A and B are shown apart, each in its own frame.
Chain A
Amino acid sequence: MSYLELRDISKLYGEGAAEVHALQRVDLSVEAGSLVAIMGASGSGKSTLLTIAGSLEDPSSGEVYIDGRPLASLSRNGKAQLRRQSIGYVFQDYNLLAGLSALENVSLPLELDGVAARKAQASALQTLEDFGLADRAAHYPDQLSGGERQRVAIARAVVGGRRLLLADEPSGALDSTNAESVMRLILAACHRGLAAIVVTHDAQLASWADRVVFLRDGRVVDQTMPLEGPEALITHVPNQ
C-alpha cells in the first residue's frame, strides 16, 4: 500500500484576476521503500506539492492520505503530531539551529515530541553513526561543511523511525560530489523502508529516484517508466 497518496489535489492562491492555480488535479502515490523525484521548472508547483504532502498546507480540493489515513480527518493537533512523528523535511538551506550541536539538532525533534533527553540523544547518535557523522556529533553547524550540514539535516529528518521524507532541492547548494552523498543517504534510508519525495529541477539528482514525475504548470504531465536493468547500457554502448 502507498504510504503517501495524493488524490485529485488542486491548490488555488488568490482570487479573481490574481487567481493562480498552483496545482491542478494532481494524483501521486509513494510506496514505502521508494524514492520519487518531482521535476519541473520554477513555478511548476513542485514546492506547493511538497508542503501539501507534508500537511504544512491544506489543498483547495482533493485528499491526502498518509499511511491510509485521510489528513482531512485529523485535527490541527493530530496533524502536528503526525508531522512530528512520521514526517521529516529537508530544505536546500539545511535549517539547522546554529546554537545547537549536530547531536542536539538531530535529537531535538524527538525531545519536542516528549522523548526523554537521554533516550533522544542515544537515538540521535545512532542515526549520526548510520550516516557516518558520529565524529561530528559535538560540532556546531558553523563548524561543519555544507555537505556535512545537509547530512545532519537528513539525519534529523529520519531520526526516530520517521516514515516519510520530503526534500526540497536538498543538494541545491552543494557541489556534485556532496550532492551525490546526500542522494546516497536518502536512497539508503528508502531501502530501509522510508518513503521519500525529492523535488528538484536537477536531473542528476532526480536520476537517483525509482520514479521521476514531471510537473508543468501545476499538472503532472509525465513520468518515467519502470527501469530496464542497468546492465543493458553496457552491452548496448556501441564499440568505437
Chain B
Amino acid sequence: MSIRHALLALLSEGPKYGLQLRQEFESRTGEVWPLNVGQVYTTLQRLERDGLVESDDTAEEGPQKGFHLTQEGADELAQWLRTPPDFSSPPRDELVIKVLVALGLPGVDVHEVIQVHRRYLVELMQQWTRLKEDESRLDINFALVVDAELFRLDSLIRWLDTADGRLKRAAGGAAAPAPQPFPLPKARRKVGGPE
C-alpha cells in the first residue's frame, strides 16, 4: 500500500488537512490498514519537499494545517495509477518453500504438511468471509479489500490442492498407506502471529 499515492489521491478531490486525510485514508481502505497520524505528517512533508503538494502557508503546523495538490502531484498520481505493480518475477513464497523442503525430508509426509497449511488458510478464509456476511452493512471499499484477500488465500489453497494431486499421481503405482486423521495443533495459531 503506497501511503504517498493514497494521500495524493485524496488531495486530488480538493484541499484537506492532516487529520482529515488520516480518517479518509482509513475509511477508503475499509479500515483494514490503520494509519497513525505521524505517518501522515511525515509523508506530507516529503510530498511537499518533492513539490507534489503545497501547504497552506498561513496556517500553523498541526492538525489544522491544510494541503493541496500541485500539477506535478496530479501528474504523478495519474502515472502511478496506470503503472502495473512488478509481478514479473515470482516472490520467494514461504509456503512454496516449505512444501518443497518437506518433499525431500525422510519421515515427513508431505500430504500432511500440505493439509496443515490448507486448513489454516481455510480457517483464515472463514474469518474473512464472516466479515462480509452482513451484506446490508458491507461498505464497498471494505468488500473489495476482503475479496482481494479471499482470492489471494484461495489461490494458495488451489496451489496446495494441485501440489497434493500432482504428488499423488507422481507416486503412481506405489502402494500408499491409508490416510489417517492428521494431528490437530494443541492451540490455534494467532492470525498474523510469528512463524
Partner among B31, B115, B128, B179 whose Cβ is within 8 Å of the Cβ of A207: B128
Q: How far is the CB of A200 from chain B (nearest CB, A)?
A: 11
Asked whether A12 is an interface residue with its Cβ less than 8 Å from the other chain, the reply is no
For chain B, which range describes its interface: under 10, 10 to 19, 20 to 34, or 35 or more residues? 35 or more
Check A234 against B153 for contact (C-beta < 8 Å): no
Check A222 against B161 for contact (C-beta < 8 Å): no
Residues of chain A contacted by B164 (CB below 8 angstroms): 41
Asked whether B78 is an interface residue with its Cβ less than 8 Å from the other chain, the reply is no
What is the CA–CA distance of A201 and B158 in the complex, to the nearest angstrom?
Answer: 9
Check B178 against A219 for contact (C-beta < 8 Å): yes
What is the CA–CA distance of A225 and B123 in the complex, to the nearest angstrom?
Answer: 7
Residues of chain A contacted by B1 (CB below 8 angstroms): 240
Check B123 against A224 for contact (C-beta < 8 Å): yes
Partner among B31, B181, B184, B193 whose Cβ is within 8 Å of the Cβ of A220: B181
Check A209 against B126 for contact (C-beta < 8 Å): yes
Residues of chain A contacted by B181 (CB below 8 angstroms): 219-222
Residues of chain A contacted by B158 (CB below 8 angstroms): 203
Asked whether B92 is an interface residue with its Cβ less than 8 Å from the other chain, the reply is no
Asked whether B12 is an interface residue with its Cβ less than 8 Å from the other chain, the reply is no
Asked whether A182 is an interface residue with its Cβ less than 8 Å from the other chain, the reply is no
Task: Fill in one digit per residue for A203-240: 1 if any B CB lies within 8 Å of its CB, else 0.
Answer: 11011110010101101111111011010111011111
Asked whether B165 is an interface residue with its Cβ less than 8 Å from the other chain, the reply is yes
Residue of B nearest to A39 (CB): B122
What is the CA–CA distance of A146 and B177 in the complex, to the nearest angstrom?
Answer: 42
Asked whether A187 is an interface residue with its Cβ less than 8 Å from the other chain, the reply is yes
Asked whether A184 is an interface residue with its Cβ less than 8 Å from the other chain, the reply is yes
Asked whether B37 is an interface residue with its Cβ less than 8 Å from the other chain, the reply is no
Q: Could you tell me which residues of chain A, from 118 to 140, have a CB within 8 Å of some CB in chain B?
A: none
Asked whether B131 is an interface residue with its Cβ less than 8 Å from the other chain, the reply is yes
Check B125 against A203 for contact (C-beta < 8 Å): yes
Check B191 against A232 for contact (C-beta < 8 Å): yes
Check B33 against A230 for contact (C-beta < 8 Å): no
Asked whether A24 is an interface residue with its Cβ less than 8 Å from the other chain, the reply is yes
Identify whether the interface residues of B are mostly helix, strand, loop, or mixed.
helix
Task: Fill in one digit per residue for B173-195: 1 if any A CB lies within 8 Å of its CB, else 0.
Answer: 00000111110100010111100
Residues of chain A contacted by B161 (CB below 8 angstroms): 41, 201
Q: How far is the CB of A86 from chain B (nearest CB, A)?
A: 26
Partner among A41, A212, A237 whose Cβ is within 8 Å of the Cβ of B32: A237
For chain A, which range describes its interface: under 10, 10 to 19, 20 to 34, or 35 or more residues? 20 to 34
Check A224 against B122 for contact (C-beta < 8 Å): yes
Asked whether B94 is an interface residue with its Cβ less than 8 Å from the other chain, the reply is no
With A221-B115, A239-B35 known as contacts, the answer to whether A187 contacts B165 (CB < 8 A) is: no
Asked whether B137 is an interface residue with its Cβ less than 8 Å from the other chain, the reply is no
Asked whether B86 is an interface residue with its Cβ less than 8 Å from the other chain, the reply is no
Check B192 against A237 for contact (C-beta < 8 Å): yes
What is the CA–CA distance of A39 and B148 in the complex, to the nearest angstrom?
Answer: 22
Check A203 against B153 for contact (C-beta < 8 Å): yes
Check B133 against A236 for contact (C-beta < 8 Å): no
What is the CA–CA distance of A207 and B119 in the complex, to the nearest angstrom?
Answer: 11
What is the CA–CA distance of A234 and B124 in the complex, to the nearest angstrom?
Answer: 12
Check B118 against A239 for contact (C-beta < 8 Å): no
Q: How far is the CB of A27 from chain B (nearest CB, A)?
A: 10
What is the CA–CA distance of A220 and B182 in the complex, to the nearest angstrom?
Answer: 9
Check A232 against B180 for contact (C-beta < 8 Å): no
With A24-B178, A41-B165, A240-B33 known as contacts, the answer to whether A230 contacts B119 (CB < 8 A) is: no
Q: Report which B residues bind A (CB closer than 8 A).
A: 1, 31-36, 111, 115, 118-119, 121-131, 133, 135, 150-151, 153-154, 157-158, 161, 164-165, 178-182, 184, 188, 190-193
11 interchain pairs (CB within 8 A)?
Answer: A203-B125, A203-B154, A203-B158, A207-B125, A217-B179, A227-B130, A230-B131, A233-B124, A233-B192, A237-B32, A237-B192
